Structure 1
Amino acid sequence: MRLHLITVGDPKLAYARAGWDEYEKRLRRYHKVQVTRVSGRSQALESEAVRRAAGKSPLVLLDPRGQQFTSEALSAYLDAQALGGVGELAFAIGGPDGHTDDLRASAHALWSLGRLTLPHDLAMVVLAEALYRASTISAGEPYHRG
């Protein structure tokens, strides 16, 4: 399956750039990965840029109102989407004000990384690592135990 990762901007902090690069590289062993960086001067412009970037792909928004997954549940979710014929899933992290209500209403799913508010850079790393970990579980590999 193809994973399309959409973020508002690039990671700015060195630790986040290194973590993003590492997990994006690892994730490419299991999926075709596309990364799109969007920008906007407002929440509405950012959300519209996310919508355009995702195109017709089912859009999973990272949002505190969303469902929380264990690593095993995320793995099962990705597997179910692939078995259901979804060729590409788009995952989007919003800007400082999050996503608009309109974008949330049109999303395929909302995914919460937890109840804490994470800085954008850290959320990007957590997204890439979580998808990588779920992929190793699906492949029956031991990473998720480490």
Structure 2
Amino acid sequence: MRLHLITVGEPKLAYARAGWDEYEKRLRRYHKVQVTRVGGRTQAQESEAVARAAGRAPLILLDPRGQQFTSEGLSAYLDAQALGGVGELAFAIGGPEGHTDDLRAGVHKLWSLGQLTLPHDLAMIVLLEALYRAATISAGEPYHRG
């Protein structure tokens, strides 16, 4: 399956750039990965850019209002999407103000990384690590020791 990762901006801190690069490289062993960085001066412009970048792919927004997954649950969800014929999923992390209500209303799913507020750079790493962990679970590999 192709995973399209859409972020408003890019990791700014050195640890975040290194973490992003590492987990993106690992994730590419299991999925085709596309990364799109978008910008905008306002929340509305950012949300419009995210929607344009996702195109026709089912869009999953990282959002505190969303569903939380266990690692095994995320793995099962991704497997079910692939078995259902979904060839691509787009995942988007918004800017500091999050996503607009209009964008939220039309997406495939809202996904919450948890109840904590994470800095933007850290959320980007957590997204990639979670997708990588889910991929290793699906592949039956020992990375996840749950």
CA RMSD of aligned residues (A): 0.7
State the TM-score, normalizing by the size of structure 2. Answer: 0.99
Matches of 2:80 and 2:106, distance apart in 1: 20
Which residues of structure 1 form unaligned runs of 5+?
none
Q: CA deviation at 1:145?
A: 1.2
User: Aligned AA for 1:4?
Assistant: H
Look up the match of 1:107: 107
Look up the match of 1:116: 116
User: Aligned AA for 2:144?
Assistant: H
Which contiguous aligned blocks of 4+ residues in structure 1 show a shift greater than 4 angstroms? Answer: none
Look up the match of 2:141: 141
The alignment status of 1:81 with 2:68, answered yes or no, reads no
User: Aligned AA for 2:60?
Assistant: V
Q: CA deviation at 1:85?
A: 0.3
How many residue pairs get aligned? The number is 146
Which residues of structure 2 form unaligned runs of 5+?
none
Cα deviation 1:96-131 (Å, max 9, x = unaligned): 000000000001000000001111000000000000
Look up the match of 1:7: 7
User: Aligned AA for 2:4?
Assistant: H
Q: Report percent identity of matched pairs.
A: 88
Cα deviation 1:24-49 (Å, max 9, x = unaligned): 00000000000000000000000000
State the TM-score, normalizing by the size of structure 1. Answer: 0.99
